[in-house]
Amino acid sequence: MNICVIGTGYVGLVTGACFSEMGNQVTCVDTDAGKIEGLKNGVIPIHEPGLESVVTNNFREGRLRFTTSLPDAIKDSSLYFIAVGTPPREDGSADLEHVLAVARELGRHIDRYAVVVDKSTVPVGTADKVKAAIREEMRKRGASVEFDVVSNPEFLKEGDAVNDFMRPDRVVIGADSERAADILRSLYAPFTRNHERILVMGVRDAEMTKYAANAMLATKISFMNEIASLCERMGVDVENVRVGIGSDSRIGYSFIYPGCGYGGSCFPKDVKALIHTAEEAGFDPAILHAVEVRNENQKRRLFEKIAARFGPDLGGMTFALWGLAFKPGTDDMREAPAVVLLHQLIGAGARVRAYDPVAMTVARDTLPHEWFRAGKLTLGEHQNDALKGADALALVTEWKPFRYPDFGAMKRIMKRPVVFDGRNQYDPAQLRAEGFEYFGIGR
């Protein structure tokens, strides 16, 4: 098929690259000329394992193209995926400005039957707004072209997105037209050959499915973090509790790891957006409010432990920080717990030496430049560089290289052998036997 993907961010680039991997002709469109030029030269703007080879190979083979001109891309396609950003507004609602701008441009140019697919995460009712925007532009130019709008939400995990796309758990297609549903079924058939994983439902049902899925996962995380806080007060090790409940097949082990909160571009934004949607509908989403509050509190939990150990004034102290990205496998620092901790530590007068395997460039570009100029924040070239002269280590992101470090070397490098384990990666008994003070979550 000839496909046009509008937006080359995280979702758009993975979508376009993976469709081209299956032999489709794909044109990716973005208004950022620098990004498009970089993609043509093999520069991938995000860290995502496996994505670079898929992009460069298909670009070289001519199946994947990049352009800044949507009108030019429209000429060659009849299937359009909208994958632009939907950032949160101040009230928590999703900003649909970019989605509707793309819809209006499509309405100005499509001249034959087309299927317009909402790939971006959008609130219930967005497909209706996209349809109205396209129709209005057609009316202005006196055109009457048949088209359908479909919801096809993504369920990609950062750090494993290529594998998720190529081997999906499910493909949700929200369509009110059998013709459009059949086209999407054909497109996704190569991705679901070993067993049927395509779920066709109404457009609004599909829009809600995406938000409900992310909210459910966020709820599991916040629930476990709440149990962890209770365990601390009751003298219980939450890790034993986690294993005990995870062994129940009705619960499972996924997303029940206690820690210092969730972050990223999806869970925080989508929980807020679903809360806003519920309140607009006159419904009080009590559980979602609790999920959000617990997560915000959890992001402050490591600093609370640090302040309890050293006092609120951290002037003259140095802290090592392992992990800046919101999770392993990505360089995404949006809503990352590490950023919250950095603000708290530096605000309390401390200096921080930080290290992350892949997010260092993003950290230099996005964190306050004043921190670097004033020597409040230093980025180490190696994880042990961050430990030099440190009064304590805070582990925030559970990257694999942090799981089994040389504790003897750590103790020699650090000023004081104190570890604040924000992801419960270490065995408290082992660290204490090595001479460390250990502080975990719910332990």
- Give me the active site residues, please: 266
Contact 94, 123 (CB under 8 A): yes
Contact 137, 104 (CB under 8 A): yes
Residues 6+ apart with CB under 8 A from 99: 82, 84, 86, 118, 120, 122, 126, 130
Spatial strand order of the sheet with 437-439 comes to 377-379, 351-355, 318-322, 392-395, 418-421, 437-439
Kindly list the distances between the CA atom of residue 109 and the CA atoms of 6, 96, 137, 262, in Å, as whole numbers in the listed order.
14, 20, 9, 41
CA distance 161 to 302: 29
Q: Residue 54: which of 83, 15, 9 has the closest Cα?
A: 15
